[in-house]
Amino acid sequence: MQATSASTTNPTPAGGQADPGFKLPEEKNAPDAALPQTTPQTAGGPVEVVPGPLPPAATDTSTRDLSIGAAVFVVLLVVYFFVRNAYVHHMVVRRVAPSTAGSAGWLLFVGLAFLSAAAVLAIINASRYLTWGVTAPLVVVGAVALVAALFIGRR
């Protein structure tokens, strides 16, 4: 479109082209009070971006969580000690040598303790402790000890 009057045309710039006459409307500083507000107050604020495929960063574990986890683990160790004694007694009744039954009982205790340590650490702070470097050795040692307790107890 071209302007109809000569007073609205601008002088030609250095490129030799005339102004086509398109102008942006002027912005109002204050919104009209009579019109309802259609956008929320937070629409102009910053946008928080959460990474998609990456796991969240490991958070620090509070002292309270560690204390509760340690208390639960100690209670489990006490329970496993009584389970160990019952297992040893059961093995001796089945005519297994007391030394062999004692070894099998301690392996049962160690296996249950390592598996419980992995579970308690995973519950305390999964993003920090539920990793291959922490959980895998605990689970492997616990499983090997439980299997060894069963095989030693059969002799």
Q: Is residue 10 part of a domain?
A: no
Question: Using CA atoms, how far apart are residues 114 and 103, in angstroms rounded to an integer?
Answer: 17
Question: Structural domain tally of the chain?
Answer: 1
pTM score:
0.61
Per-residue pLDDT of 6-22, as tens digits, reads 555 555 556 666 666 77
* pLDDT tens-place string over residues 124-147: 988 888 889 999 999 999 999 999
Domain annotation covers residue 25: no
What value does the CA radius of gyration of the chain take, rounded to a whole number of Å?
Answer: 37
Residue 26: partners with Cβ closer than 8 Å, 6 or more residues away: none
Range of 137's domain?
63-153
In a domain, 38, yes or no: no
How many residues make up the chain in this entry?
A: 155
